[in-house]
Amino acid sequence: MAHRDFVEINLSALIAGVTNVMPIADMLSERSMLFDEQYSQIRAENNRHNKMRHLLSVVISGGPEVKSYFYEALKINEPYLVQDLERSSSQTSSGVLQSQEGTQDNTGKPEGVLIRWNPSSIKHKSTIEELRNDPSKQKVGTIYFSRENKYYISTGSSGTQIYLGLKEDGTEVAIKRIIKNPVNKKDFENELRPLQDLNLESKNIVRYVDFAEDDHFYYLALQLCECDLESHMKDLNNQEHGNRDTALKKIVNDVLLGLRDLHLVKVIHRDIKPKNVLMDSGNNARLADFGLCRKLEEGSAVYTTRAGTRGWEAVETLDSTEKSSYKMSSDVQVAGMLVYYILSGGKHPFDVNDSKDRETNIRKGNYSLADVSYIVAQDLIKGMINIDPAQRPTIEEVLQHPYFWDDDRKDAVLRKLGDREEVQHYVSIEQIYKKIKNSEGGNPGAAFTNDIDEAIGLLLLPNNKRGEVMKKDIRKAVGDDVAKLRTLCDTAKKYSVEKTFSAWKADVSRSIKPRKKSLALHKK
């Protein structure tokens, strides 16, 4: 009997009969088959039955090596139980099947049933065709699936296994098979409840289809997608540069639209990361995995212990010693990290020197956007990953950013704003700045007196966030000191580059197709 079958056929007997749970867990931990966090969670369970349920969830989600070593550890620590179970394996298997058949709707192997099928997936088409005719398929509720390896898609958290499946009505589904234990029960309910409550018809969120359960497992049926984000990005590397950029921009837009649809109904995701973005057969990116998402009831925050995946967390949630406030703005910061990941070809903005420093860099707001050259995209990301939650844009504001403008809107905005004072003054400040920089080491003397007055005047822009600065106060501070003039011009340059439309107007205008000729960027 395969070790996988031994474990799953004898689940009830193992939960009831194993008394030496922690010695088995110790052996798996020594072989690095249990993470420290998993080991701690098993130890923290309040009785041996729950400890064993938790341990089995890890074993079932592991590969063949984990199952084999668990079996060996079981023989060492529970030899008589293993002997009894092996002697009665066929009877136990039959008993489990009968038990499952007595639960919701019947679980078993439907004989001679050709399942309806509404083809949609391209990648999984041939495998689903096999499933329809496979005698090993089982039915749980209204869901058909098989545990054969060829139908296996991936492994999730908490012992979750994901298989290809079909509903009775022919809908293709991905089935999350989750072993029952107290921890998984809570996670399952957390994921199922918002999916059922939302029932969103969003093309950018993985759609809930159905659920079922038997004595040992929960089955959550979700919309079947083609691949995850990482695989899709690898495929895009083979495309021409222009086509790839367009495709990546669509992915960014899709992900943010999905997040907008969640935030519109006051749901926060709390686990945004590349693995939780899937691509459907229409090349739409969809947000997935709602096991950590929460509904905002009263107020605008959820108070929670640390949530999310390490390295993909908002700065305000990193301190796990106490409950922290997780808001929609927290989702926005992590979504900003994901936007950079997509546009940079798989980089993280807070991996400034080494990925080991990622959390430290998130805490300090120390990031680099060097792998995204388009300054408009940099501006978008910079706002989203701001260390101050209050300074981050809402998801609606994010989607209004110029990065997402089409050519017509870019053209209209540039025509309207091209003659604005701050746009024109940016050019003048740059000229003064360059003149002074070129004179460093010399003694320009009084020749710059007029430039001082000009630079002072150029700082008096209506959108200066520090308010209207009186010209006489600046003149008094600067006097005729060229060094102070340099400081003033440095400030002017920094102000112009970072705080005005001028920072990216050139990039925006260049990105418009050649047919757009008459941009009013300069005064006649």
Count of CB atoms within 10 A of residue 373's CB?
11
Q: Which phi and psi angles does 143 have, rounded to 5°? A: -110, 135
Distance of CA 281 to the CA centre of its chain: 20
Which of 226, 233, 231, 228 has its CA nearest to residue 247?
A: 233
Contacts of 433 by beta carbon, 8 Å cutoff, 6+ apart: 489, 490, 492, 493
Q: Which phi and psi angles does 24 have, rounded to 5°? A: -65, -45
Q: Measured in Å, how far apart are the chain's first and last C-alpha atoms?
A: 85
- Taking CA atoms, 244 is separated from 229, 248, 251, 475, in Å, by 14, 6, 11, 51
3-state SS, residue 326: strand
- Give the Cα separation of 510 and 524 in Å (integer): 20
Tally: H helices and E strands in the chain = 22, 15
Which of 214, 254, 261, 271 is the catalytic position? 271
- Give the Cα separation of 307 and 331 in Å (integer): 11
Distance of CA 382 to the CA centre of its chain: 17
Q: Is residue 271 among the annotated active site residues?
A: yes
Taken in order 242, 248, 249, 250, the sign of the CA dihedral is positive
3-state SS, residue 134: coil
Instruction: Give the amino acid at 203.
Output: K
CA-based R_g, the chain, Å = 30
Q: Which residues pair with 140 in a beta bridge?
A: 107, 143
Taken in order 384, 388, 393, 394, the sign of the CA dihedral is positive
Of the CA atoms within 13 Å of residue 371, those in its CB half-sphere come to 16
Beta carbons of 285 and 279 less than 8 angstroms apart: yes
- Give the Cα separation of 77 and 69 in Å (integer): 12
3-state SS, residue 356: helix
Contacts of 501 by beta carbon, 8 Å cutoff, 6+ apart: 417, 420, 422, 423
The one-character DSSP state at 403 is G
Q: Which residues pair with 176 in a beta bridge?
A: 162, 220
> Left if phi > 0, otherwise alpha if psi is -120 to 50, otherwise beta: which for 365?
left
- Give the Cα separation of 152 and 145 in Å (integer): 10
Burial per residue of 192-220, b for 16 or more beta-carbon CB atoms within 10 angstroms, e otherwise: bebbeebebebebbbbbbbbbbbebbbbb
Q: Which residues are known to be catalytic?
A: 271
